[in-house]
Amino acid sequence: MWVAFIGFVFLFGVSARPGHWDHLGQPYFDNNTKREVAATIGKAAFLLCRVRNLADKSVSWIRKRDLHIISVGVHTYSGDGRFVSLHPEGSDEWTLRISPVKPADSGAYECQVSTEPKISLSFRLSVVVSKAEILNGNELFVRSGSDINLTCVTKDAPEAPSFIYWFRDKDVVNYAQRGGINVLTDQKTRTSRLLIARAIPQDSGNYTCAPSSSVKPKKSTGNLIRMVVKRLNELHCTALLCTSAETISCPQ
């Protein structure tokens, strides 16, 4: 029995990893690689392909929708400088970097090895547009002199935005123009709070928010909340509502 086993090992070889046949020395893909990749528009996307036993073969990246050869080895064959092929010397990793990504970059890509016949591994890139939503409803009537707390939550983003813009009537909220305005951002919960101390009628307006990673970060992409700051005797709410809360939402 031992003679037969030793003869088998001599003829076919055994991988150094227990229980794994080393594909008889031929190139093969590491199938543990992440093949579904999501990236936020305007950020960088990385498609990582690991090829074992490459030897003298080459690795190419191909965009499947038009069969365009993006790169062969570390050489890029694209007029679009956003595409770069990365390969740390001595490693099994071949990475296609696209930066910054656009919605049109979404789709299927292929990591191909120049064996005969060729072998390939498919990847899918999804480019998402990050959005934001204010949680305080659509309309707020606020008593003059009250403290205001608006909360914005980002959505549909694979990573937390660096920061969140706040707008009033399509203009970025100016913190320097009026004292008593603060923004608290929590990247862990992907929320931002706009705090306005001692509200005055001039604070009235249409408020929106947008993550820095949105398509046009200096323009709002989320829902709109209309806030009206009035003196107590100008509010058209019930007496109970007007005396029970600093920030009040009136029925429409």
Distances (CA, A) of 128 to 46, 152, 158, 223: 14, 19, 8, 18
Residue with tokens 């073969």: 57
What is the distance between the alpha carbons of residues 209 and 166, in angstroms, rounded to a whole number?
Answer: 5
Tell me which DSSP letter residue 66 carries: T
- Omega of the bond prior to 158 within 30 degrees of 0, cis? no
Instruction: Give me the pLDDT at residue 161, please.
Output: 80
- Judge if 88 and 136 occupy the same domain: no
Instruction: Pull the structure tokens for residue 149.
Output: 């707390």
Domain housing 74: 26-128
Instruction: Pull the structure tokens for residue 61.
Output: 């990246």
Last residue of a domain, one of 128, 149, 178: 128
- Judge if 106 and 207 occupy the same domain: no
Residue pair 105/125 in contact by the 8 Å Cβ criterion: yes
Instruction: Pull the structure tokens for residue 13.
Output: 């070889």
Residue 5 lies in a domain: no
Sign of the torsion angle spanned by Cα atoms 169, 174, 180, 183: positive
CA dihedral 59, 63, 69, 73 (to 10 degrees): -20
Beta strands in 17-82 (DSSP E): 28-29, 36-40, 45-52, 59-63, 68-72, 75-76
Instruction: Give me the pLDDT at residue 15, please.
Output: 34
Q: Look at the chain and report how many structural domains it folds into.
A: 2
CATH code at position 169 = 2.60.40.10
- Judge if 97 and 117 occupy the same domain: yes
Last residue of a domain, one of 128, 146, 181: 128
What is the distance between the alpha carbons of residues 60 and 243, in angstroms, rounded to a whole number?
Answer: 69
pLDDT tens track, the chain, 252 positions: 443 443 433 333 333 343 344 556 899 999 888 999 999 888 899 999 999 999 999 999 999 999 999 999 999 998 899 999 999 999 999 999 999 999 999 999 999 999 999 999 999 999 988 888 898 778 888 888 989 999 999 887 777 787 889 999 888 887 777 889 999 988 888 899 999 999 999 899 999 998 877 645 455 555 677 888 876 555 455 433 333 334 444 333
